[in-house]
Amino acid sequence: MRQIKHLFIFSALVLLMGFSFSNFLGIYHQTILALCGINIILAVSLNLVNGFTGQFSLGHAGFMAVGAYVSAALTTLWLPTLTNPFLMTEIGVNLFFLFALLAGGIAAGLTGFLVGVPSLRLKGDYLAVVTLGFGEIIRIFILNIEPIGGARGLIGIPQLSNLYWIFGFVLLICIWIHRIVSSIPGKQFMAVRDDETATSAMGLSTTRIKVRSFVYASFFAGIAGGLFAHYIAYLNPATFNFNYSFQIVAMVVLGGMGSLTGSVAAAILLTGLLEALRPLQDLTGVDLRMVIYALTLIVLMLTRPEGMFGRHEIWEFFKKFKKSPQGFVR
Amino acid sequence: MKALEIKNLGIQFGGLKAVQNVSLHVNEYELVGLIGPNGAGKTTLFNLITGIYKPTTGSVEMDGKNIAGLSSFEITNECFGARTFQNIRLFKDLSVLENVLVSSHKKIDYNLWSVLFDTQHYRNSEKKIREEAMELLKIFSLDSKADEIAKNLPYGDQRKLEIVRAMSTKPKILFLDEPAAGMNEHETLQLLNLVRFVREKYKIGILVIEHDMKFIMGLCERIYVLDHGQLIAEGRPEEIRSNKDVIKAYLGEEETNTAVRSNLHGR
C-alpha cells in the first residue's frame, strides 16, 4: 500500500518536473538542466564512496564512461539489427532504452568490483592515485576499441534520453542512496569511515563493505553515463578524462562529504555557475569564468572547509532552527 | 573449557622480540589482569590475540578454536572474542544507538532490494534490531543518550559505550585495554562496578590490561605480569604485590639505583 502511494507521488513529481522543464524552457536551458541532473547523479553516488565510506576515489568518470559506452553500443549497434516489430513502437524503444541503461549500470558496477577488490586495500592518498590510474586505464581502453568509434568517438546514438528520464533517475537514485545510508548496512559504511580497526573488531569485513559501496556508486555512475550518451547523442573518450572526475570530486567536497542534499546543491551550483557567467564574458570581452569559478571554490573552502552542509542534510538545519531560538549552532 | 588459552606465543618485529614465549589462560567466568611497565608488550599481546598482528611462534585458542589464519573480524565472529581499545575508538560521528547497531550484521535478514523499495519486511526487521539494541543500552543505562553523537559524550560514557559496543557482538571473552586510562577516582570506581556487572550478567571471561594498581588489585582474581615481552609472575593480587621480580621490574634494582646515585653525586 505504502509503496503504491510512493510510486504515485514519485510519478507525479517526475511528470511535473519533466513537463515544466521541457515546455517552459528553451533548448539551451534544457541542456544545462540535463547536465545538472547527470552531475547530481554522479556527485550523489560518489558521495557514497568519498563521503559516507571515507574512501577517496578519483576515477568516477571512468565508470560513467563504461555505462555510457555499453548502453550506447546496445542502442546504436544492436538495436537496428533487431527485427522484432514491438521494438519499432514508441514503448518498445523506450523499454529497450531502459534495458540498455541498466546494462550500462551493471557493466559499470562489474568494472567497479574488478577495480575495487585490489585497490580498496589501500588507504588515503594511495587509493586516490590508484583509482585515478584505473579511471585513465578505462578511458584509454575505450579509446582503442575500433567498433565503438575509438578516438573518433561514437556517432549516431539515438536521442532517447530526455528530461523525464533524467529527472526520474535523479529522484530515484537520490531516494535510493538516502535509503541505503539510513539502513543498518549504510551505518556500516560510516563505521568504516570513522574507524576501520574498530569496525573489523565488531566482526565486519571492512574490505567487503568498501567494495560494496564502490560497486553501488559505480552502478549509479554507469546509469548517469547512459543518460548522458543518449542526451548528447555523441560520445568521445576525451570527455571522461581526469578533469571530469575531478569536477565530480569538487562537487562532493564543496557540498559536504556525507551530505546528499549538499551534493545536489553543489552539482547545480557548479554546473550552473559556468553557464551563468557567460554574459559576463560578452560584457568584459575577457574570459573571466574560470577565474571566478576558481575563486568561488577557494572562498567556499576557506569559509566552510567541511563543505556547504558539512555532514548534515538540509532538513536537519530547519529542525535545529526550530529547536533553538538562537538559530543553528554547530 | 577455557575461554582463552595461549601457548608459547611470540612475535618478532625485525630484531625486536616484542612478545616471547608467553603462555597464559583465562577460564570461563574469570577476571584476569595483565600488568607490566610501559613498553612491556601488553597491547602487542592483545593485538596478537585479536588478529591484528600474526604471531611468529606459538598458538592462541579461544572458545576451543585456534585463531591461526583468521583475520580480525573472523575472530570476533567465530571465536567470540571482543575488545576495547587503549585510545577510545568509537564511531565518533554515529549516534550511541548506531554504534551498537553496526555489529548486528548477523541479525540482518533483508537484502538490498528490500532496502531500496522500503518493504514491510525490511521495516519490521530493522525495527526489531533497533529495539534489541535499545534494550542492550538500557541494561547499561545509556538508553537516555541513544540519539547523542558518540563524540559528544562525556569521557566516562565514551569508555562505557566502547564496552557496551563490544558486548553487542555477544562475546564469550572480553579484552579490555586500559579501560581506566584518564579517569578520575570516582569514574574508576564506577568502571570497576561496570566490569564486575558485565561478568556477573553475561558469565564471561575478562582479561584486563591496566596501569591503575588499585583498580586491578581490587578487580582481578588472578594477575599476570609482563616485562620485556616475557611473563615474570602469575598469581593472586596479594602474591603479586609482594613478588620480588615484579617490584624489580617496576622500580628497578637496589644496586643499580645506588650505583646511579653515587655516579650522579660524583666521587
- Give burial (CB, 10 Å; 0-12/13-18/19+) of A211: buried
Sheet holding B2-13, edge to edge: B16-27, B2-13, B57-62, B65-66
Nearest CA in chain A to B104: A184
Residue B209, φ and ψ in degrees, nearest 5: -95, 135
Name the band, by pLDDT with cuts 50, 70 and 90, for residue B100.
very high
Nearest CA in chain B to A194: B91
CB spacing of A184 vs B126 below 8 angstroms: yes
Considering the domain architecture, whether residues B100 and B213 belong to the same structural domain is answered as no
CA distances from A94 to A75, A86, A105, A263 (A): 10, 11, 16, 29
List the grid coordinates of B78. Answer: 567465530
Taken in order A80, A95, A139, A109, is the CA torsion positive or negative? negative
Domain map (residue ranges) of chain A: 2-241
List the grid coordinates of B101. Answer: 547497531
Considering the domain architecture, whether residues B142 and B179 belong to the same structural domain is answered as no
Indicate whether B85 belongs to any domain: no
Q: What is the pTM of this model?
A: 0.90
Indicate whether B86 belongs to any domain: no
Give the distance from residue B154's alpha carbon to the nearest chain A alpha carbon, in angstroms: 18
Neighbours of A310 (CB within 10 A): 18
Q: Which pLDDT value is given to residue A96?
A: 94
Considering the domain architecture, whether residues B68 and B1 belong to the same structural domain is answered as yes
Name the band, by pLDDT with cuts 50, 70 and 90, for residue A324.
very low
Considering the domain architecture, whether residues B155 and B198 belong to the same structural domain is answered as no
- Give burial (CB, 10 Å; 0-12/13-18/19+) of A80: exposed
Distance CA B145, CA B156 (A): 13
One DSSP character per residue, A15-39 reads: HHHHHHHHHHS-HHHHHHHHHHHHH
Give tens-digit pLDDT for A264-323: 999 999 999 888 888 887 888 777 888 888 888 899 889 988 888 888 888 888 876 555
CB B187 within 8 Å of CB B194: no
Which of B169, B190, B208 terminates a domain? The answer is: B169
CB spacing of A191 vs B102 below 8 angstroms: yes
One DSSP character per residue, A41-68 reads: HHHHHHHIIIIIS------HHHHHHHHH
Which of chain A's residues have a Cβ under 8 Å away from the Cβ of B94? 187, 190-191, 194
Distance CA A162, CA A16 (A): 14
CB A227 within 8 Å of CB A157: no
Strands (E) across B113-209 are located at: 173-177, 205-209
Whole-number average pLDDT of chain A: 90
- Give burial (CB, 10 Å; 0-12/13-18/19+) of A111: buried
Considering the domain architecture, whether residues B124 and B9 belong to the same structural domain is answered as no
Is the predicted pLDDT of residue A13 greater than 80, yes or no? yes
List the grid coordinates of A164. Answer: 523525464
Considering the domain architecture, whether residues B175 and B164 belong to the same structural domain is answered as no
Give the distance from residue A271's alpha carbon to the nearest chain B alpha carbon, in angstroms: 28
Is the predicted pLDDT of residue B263 greater than 60, yes or no? no
Q: Which residues of B touch A (CB under 8 A)?
A: 50, 52, 71-74, 76-77, 82-83, 85, 89-94, 98, 101-106, 108, 115-120, 122, 126, 129, 165-166, 168-169
What's the rounded mean pLDDT across residues A11-32?
A: 86
CATH code, B267: 3.40.50.300
**Using CB atoms, which residue from B73, B98, B119 is nearest to A205?**
B73
Least confident of A6-20, A176-190, A193-207: A6-20
Which of chain A's residues have a Cβ under 8 Å away from the Cβ of B98? 187, 190
Nearest 5°: the CA angle B230, B232, B235 is: 130
CB spacing of A203 vs B103 below 8 angstroms: yes
Give which of B43, B71, B72 to mutate to test A binding, by max A Cβ within 10 Å. Answer: B72
Distance CA A106, CA A119 (A): 20
**Using CB atoms, which residue from B52, B93, B106 is nearest to A311?**
B93
Residue-range definition of the domain harbouring residue B104: 92-169
Give tens-digit pLDDT for B27-59: 999 999 999 988 889 999 999 999 999 999 999
What's the rounded mean pLDDT across residues A4-13?
A: 87
Is the predicted pLDDT of residue B261 greater than 70, yes or no? no
The neighbouring-strand residues paired with B222 are B32
Indicate whether B75 belongs to any domain: yes
CB spacing of B89 vs A183 below 8 angstroms: no
Considering the domain architecture, whether residues B115 and B43 belong to the same structural domain is answered as no
CB spacing of B165 vs A203 below 8 angstroms: no
CB A13 within 8 Å of CB A166: no
Instruction: Give the type of residue at A91.
Output: I
Give the distance from residue A266's alpha carbon to the nearest chain B alpha carbon, in angstroms: 23
Coil vs helix vs strand at B209: strand
**Using CB atoms, which residue from B50, B94, B119 is nearest to A191?**
B94
Neighbours of A239 (CB within 10 A): 19
Considering the domain architecture, whether residues B226 and B260 belong to the same structural domain is answered as yes
CB spacing of A202 vs B72 below 8 angstroms: no
Domain count within chain B? 2
Nearest CA in chain A to B73: A203
| Dihedral over alpha carbons B165, B167, B169, B175 (to 10 degrees) | 100
**ipTM for the whole complex:** 0.88
Neighbours of A276 (CB within 10 A): 13
**Using CB atoms, which residue from A179, A194, A204 is nearest to B93?**
A194
Residues with Cβ within 8 Å of residue B22, at least 6 apart in sequence: B6, B8, B9, B10, B45, B58, B226, B229, B230, B231
Distance CA B20, CA B34 (A): 15
Distance CA B46, CA A183 (A): 32
CB spacing of A195 vs B89 below 8 angstroms: yes
Is the predicted pLDDT of residue A328 greater than 50, yes or no? no
CB B88 within 8 Å of CB B159: yes
**Using CB atoms, which residue from B91, B101, B106 is nearest to A195?**
B91
One DSSP character per residue, A73-107 reads: HIIIIIGGG---GGGGSHHHHHHHHHHHHHHHHHH
List the grid coordinates of B53. Answer: 598482528
Considering the domain architecture, whether residues B211 and B176 belong to the same structural domain is answered as yes
Residues with Cβ within 8 Å of residue B186, at least 6 apart in sequence: none
Give which of A187, A188, A199, A202 to mutate to test B binding, by max B Cβ within 10 Å. Answer: A202
Residue A204, φ and ψ in degrees, nearest 5: -110, 140
If you ran DSSP here, which 8-state letter would residue B29 be given?
A: T
CB A256 within 8 Å of CB A309: yes
Q: Chains A and B: how many Cβ contacts under 8 Å? A: 94
Which of chain B's residues have a Cβ under 8 Å away from the Cβ of A190? 91, 93-94, 98
Considering the domain architecture, whether residues B159 and B176 belong to the same structural domain is answered as no
Q: Which pLDDT value is given to residue A289?
A: 81
Is the predicted pLDDT of residue A325 greater than 70, yes or no? no
Instruction: Please give the residue that has the higher pLDDT: either A3 or B124.
Output: B124
CB A84 within 8 Å of CB A217: no
Query: Checking DSSP bridges between strand B57-62 and strand B65-66, what pairing results, if any?
Result: antiparallel
Nearest CA in chain B to A178: B116
Considering the domain architecture, whether residues B219 and B260 belong to the same structural domain is answered as yes
Is the predicted pLDDT of residue A99 greater than 70, yes or no? yes
Distance CA A25, CA A30 (A): 6
Sheet holding B222-227, edge to edge: B81-83, B173-177, B205-209, B31-35, B222-227, B230-235
Give tens-digit pLDDT for A155-195: 999 999 999 999 999 999 999 999 999 999 999 999 999 99
Ranked by mean pLDDT, which of A179-183, A304-308, B102-106, B253-257 comes out on top? A179-183
Residue entry with cell 577557494? A298
Q: Which pLDDT value is given to residue A285?
A: 78
Considering the domain architecture, whether residues B244 and B176 belong to the same structural domain is answered as yes
